[in-house]
Structure 1
């Protein structure tokens, strides 16, 4: 039974948090994710089991980068852009069999953005967005059956991101009108609740027992966004950046999990993660304004399981932040003027999740691990 608790706890750590990607700041990595974060126990769900989970995420971004070079003068001069973001995902999954599962994820967000340049460059003001973000629905399949004992398993998933979030959320901008008056305009792309596109999510995840109490894990997803632009104006100076782009997104996570033998239900996790927005989409055009870039983080975490309820906490800390050159940067550059837009990034994220597994029948010994 102790081993069952260990692997279920690991599955929760793996599946609740790994693919969840949220805005890192001005690089608009929103709360789109792979399919695994809503599954809960994954291949440890028996046929007929339900899993309900709640994921919370917070960050504050304020450090500006062009490429991997930080511009500390922005903070010193008080000209930095600051984003605060709170998000909650409500996830429901159901096991149609011991290998096939379906999921639905309802994300909600509250964002605040403080800046000078968006308000006439003379006064600092804030804009806000809140409400339902883009929903996800999909299914996954574990490749190996439980007919014979195995050290681990790998799942493949396929899902759809539905454009349920407002992609033209607006607020008041000060000192920007013809005579310096305020105007109602769409908020910055980084705090929009959605992007207006229907996305295809390709997902994979897996776990493997290395030795007694030690497990390796991985998860990753790529979201294909075929729509080119969404019609939402940016009010930026360059004509090529006048409308918001609908960008692809990706994330990958891997690491080690250790079940603490002396404390029943306690698990420790240490790994790394990569998440970002590409310069070009793999399907369709990539016009309009986007801030491409990526973040590489080290990710310590902890989990604790009591009965069928598991709590997890992890805090990814950024090691590499890179605001790559966009297509508009490249197109609008000359030999004497190489354009490279900047973006603000967070130092760390706070992720917390609670999951409740509702078994169809009393727990039994699983043979998959």
Structure 2
């Protein structure tokens, strides 16, 4: 019975966190899709020694609502001048259980992005730029602080990861009406659709769960990406829009963060649902390094419902976070410009209304490891 209970527990926890650990900032605030370096699923943390977990997480959003601070600018949509980003990303991950409590993971992300705007193409006609390819690979390790079999009602995992600058940070496309005599010109695409940021990063993260009642659990977690590099040398061409934007001529390599918490209810041995909140974005200033260069700082608070299916070693989940508060604060360059000109300055950013996250994974258990099946079934989320 002990082995059965252990398997039941791991299955429910696995589904509870599948898709919850993925973090996806909405819109052109965050430079790109990013998730924790130690994997997209809590099952990454719940592997027995020698177990292998493989999977993929797909994310889509359309950002088009412009904000300055927390105030929306609805006229941008009304008069057709809004910037529209379509973002598709796929994370492919593999996680290995080094011991029952220590695990390691590698995440290989790919992206396809489009950006439609007027202001980047001479303000006379709307055109679209495009980027795709490998993004920044992440590798990491995580550790459960408490023995999983002895602490089935609650536990805490800590993780440490490395982000590698494998994605292109100077991807280019054709911009119209901006070259000599209004000719087309090849330029780097906007920061928001660059596949990579050009810097080595360090990620720290945590995850926890706590049983509240039978088949009802609270969950939470988050990560912070530390990007020490200040700028990556890629030109934005923003200074061509206005002389006062000279301090935004080069792209920054900003930090990124995410926090989430909620509850998950198991409805059967294969189906469960969750309801939580996410808070994520790009800070105005980095923890380490300088803050020069162009960035769009901002944050999003979302309500995050989800549903998951698990059968044996297979997991499938859907999460659709809906934004309830969006904020584009003053950046460092905004404040510099305001001080230099004496005029108020707060750049805008486009945000999405919602995200679509779909995740799938499969576990290859080490047959030598005895895990309680009752525990595995308990967390079918």
Give the TM bin, normalised by the shorter chain.
over 0.9
Decide whether aligned partners of structure 1 residues 5 and 355 sit closer, same or farther in structure 2, where only a CA change above 3 A counts: farther
Residue 104 of structure 1 aligns to a residue whose secondary structure is strand
Q: Specify the alignment match of 2:270 in structure 1.
A: 265
Q: Specify the alignment match of 1:210 in structure 2.
A: 212
Give me the whole-angstrom Cα distance separating, in 1, the residues matched to 2:209 and 2:38: 12
Q: Specify the alignment match of 1:254 in structure 2.
A: 261
Question: Are 1:290 and 2:295 an aligned pair?
Answer: yes
Report the more deviating stretch, 329-338 or 149-158: 329-338
TM-score, normalised on structure 2? 0.92
Q: Deviations over 1:53-109 (max 9, x none)?
A: 110000000000000000000000000000000000000000000000000000000
5+ residue gaps, structure 2, are 240-244
Decide whether aligned partners of structure 1 residues 337 and 357 sit closer, same or farther in structure 2, where only a CA change above 3 A counts: same
Q: Please say if residues 37 and 162 of structure 2, whose CA atoms lie closer than 8 Å, have aligned partners that are also in contact.
A: no
TM-score, normalised on structure 1? 0.95
Instruction: Find the partner of 2:365 among 336, 355, 359.
Output: 359
Q: Specify the alignment match of 1:8 in structure 2.
A: 11
- The Cα shift of 1:10 comes to 3.1
Q: What is the root-mean-square deviation in Å for CA atoms of aligned residues?
A: 1.8
Give me the whole-angstrom Cα distance separating, in 1, the residues matched to 2:180 and 2:314: 57
Q: Which runs of 4+ in 1 moved over 6 A?
A: 366-369
Residue 74 of structure 1 aligns to a residue whose secondary structure is helix
Residue 139 of structure 1 aligns to a residue whose secondary structure is strand
Q: Please say if residues 39 and 93 of structure 1, whose CA atoms lie closer than 8 Å, have aligned partners that are also in contact.
A: no
Q: Please say if residues 110 and 133 of structure 2, whose CA atoms lie closer than 8 Å, have aligned partners that are also in contact.
A: yes
Report the more deviating stretch, 3-12 or 273-282: 3-12
Q: Specify the alignment match of 2:250 in structure 1.
A: 243
5+ residue gaps, structure 1, are none
The count of aligned residue pairs is 366
Question: Are 1:110 and 2:112 an aligned pair?
Answer: yes
Q: Please say if residues 297 and 317 of structure 1, whose CA atoms lie closer than 8 Å, have aligned partners that are also in contact.
A: yes
- The Cα shift of 1:45 comes to 1.2
Q: Specify the alignment match of 1:128 in structure 2.
A: 130
Instruction: Find the partner of 1:309 among 314, 322, 332.
Output: 314
Pairwise mapping of residues 32-51 of structure 1 onto structure 2 (< 5 A)?
Answer: 32-51=34-53
Q: Please say if residues 66 and 343 of structure 1, whose CA atoms lie closer than 8 Å, have aligned partners that are also in contact.
A: yes
Give me the whole-angstrom Cα distance separating, in 1, the residues matched to 2:23 and 2:347: 22
- The Cα shift of 1:336 comes to 4.6
Instruction: Find the partner of 2:285 among 264, 280, 284.
Output: 280
Q: Please say if residues 261 and 276 of structure 2, whose CA atoms lie closer than 8 Å, have aligned partners that are also in contact.
A: yes
- Report which of the two has the higher share of helix: 2
Q: Deviations over 1:325-365 (max 9, x none)?
A: 10000111048511000000000000000010110117621
